[in-house]
Amino acid sequence: MTAPKEVFSAVSAFHDIRVTDYGFSRVLSFGRNRQSSMFLDSPFDTDFEYPSYFHVALALKPDAATALAIGLGGATVVKRMWRDYPEMRVDAVELDPEVVGVARRFFALPEDERIRVFTGDGRGFLEASDDSYDLVIVDAFDDDAVPPHLSDDGFIRVLRDRVGTDGIVAYNFIGELRGEGSMPFRELYRRLADAWDYVWVFVVNEGVAAGGTNIVLFATDAPVAEPELRRRIASRVDGLVSVPAFHLFGDDLWAEEAEQAE
């Protein structure tokens, strides 16, 4: 077995950043938490499961042409959407300028006019922006949790103002679906359900260092019924989506309605 090889490390104003090669895989870590990975011989692919679920947004809005990722990390989502959907413009906003440099230097983030990368806080960026998006992905964490200012009622209103007609908001969330530890998930679900007509929940069941599991939530007004959503996923949105195992993601749709947080 090949020994891990550290290829970069730095302490920024926000993170203890490490880039480590494990054989054929390169991993970006902030402190003890793995943030992103890519295969060295296939830089658009990753052994992380949850980023592929963001492509479910195309099953809800196949003509999505503009996307914003809040949280860049190793650019897994940004570069894959840029490659897979040639008509899509993909923006990203990343709090840590050092991470942007790492994504370009070590994780093959392309330099292209269809990718715009901004540095700063995601909420502040959206509050100051006049742009609207077909898809906004919130994939940002303080340690093991979404920062409160990126999930509170005020931010949900900001998202509501910046997502276009039938657009989609997607959240990567680590937590519990049921039981005493489920309150943060249920609270986010309630806020999304108050703002949009539909909330779809996919349980990734990816092993994470934090407690709980990866849960990917989509909020939208797009009137797609569950059978049609499942059909589109099974057909890879009529061949549009190429991420591995996408046609099976319907099996991970959480069919229960989340209990409303009190």
Compute the distance between CA of residue 100 and CA of residue 97 in angstroms, rounded to an integer.
Answer: 5
Name the more confident of 214 and 168: 168
Among candidates 95, 74, 94, 63, which has minimal Cα distance to 28?
Answer: 74
Compute the distance between CA of residue 125 and CA of residue 71 in angstroms, rounded to an integer.
Answer: 12
Average pLDDT on 232-243 reads 98
Q: Are strands 163-175 and 115-119 parallel, antiparallel or unpaired?
A: unpaired
Looking at the predicted structure, is the pLDDT value of residue 1 above 80? Answer: no
Average pLDDT on 205-217 reads 69
* CATH architecture group of domain 49-252: 3-Layer(aba) Sandwich (3.40)
% of the chain at pLDDT higher than 90: 81
Tell me the pLDDT tens digit for each residue of 49-85.
999 999 999 999 999 999 999 999 999 999 999 999 9
- Cβ atoms 50, 216 nearer than 8 A: yes
Strand partners, 10: 17
Strand partners, 91: 68, 116
Tell me the pLDDT tens digit for each residue of 128-144.
998 999 999 999 987 66
Tell me the pLDDT tens digit for each residue of 133-189.
999 999 998 766 788 899 999 999 999 999 988 999 999 998 888 888 889 999 999
- What count of other Cβ atoms lies within 10 Å of the Cβ of residue 32? 11
Looking at the predicted structure, is the pLDDT value of residue 232 above 60? Answer: yes
Looking at the predicted structure, is the pLDDT value of residue 31 above 90? Answer: no
Compute the distance between CA of residue 100 and CA of residue 156 in angstroms, rounded to an integer.
Answer: 26
Compute the distance between CA of residue 167 and CA of residue 153 in angstroms, rounded to an integer.
Answer: 19
Give me the sign of the Cα torsion angle 64, 242, 77, 255.
positive
Compute the distance between CA of residue 133 and CA of residue 256 in angstroms, rounded to an integer.
Answer: 29
Domain boundaries, the chain: 49-252
How high is the mean pLDDT of the chain?
92
Q: Which two tokens stand for residue 170?
A: 């997607």
Which of the residue ranges 28-32, 39-43, 62-66 would you say has the lowest mean pLDDT?
Answer: 28-32
Compute the distance between CA of residue 260 and CA of residue 237 in angstroms, rounded to an integer.
Answer: 31
Looking at the predicted structure, is the pLDDT value of residue 262 above 70? Answer: no
Q: Which two tokens stand for residue 131?
A: 């742009």
- Cβ atoms 244, 52 nearer than 8 A: yes
pLDDT value of residue 33:
85
Q: What angle separates helix 183-195 from helix 153-162, to the nearest 10 degrees? A: 40
DSSP code of residue 246? G
Q: Which two tokens stand for residue 140?
A: 């940002």
Compute the distance between CA of residue 192 and CA of residue 195 in angstroms, rounded to an integer.
Answer: 5
Mapped onto helix, strand or coil, the DSSP state of residue 38 is: strand
Which of the residue ranges 42-51, 106-115, 210-219 would you say has the lowest mean pLDDT?
Answer: 210-219
Predicted TM-score (pTM) of the model is: 0.93
Looking at the predicted structure, is the pLDDT value of residue 258 above 60? Answer: no
Compute the distance between CA of residue 56 and CA of residue 238 in angstroms, rounded to an integer.
Answer: 13
Opening angle at CA 36, ends 73 and 185, nearest 5? 85
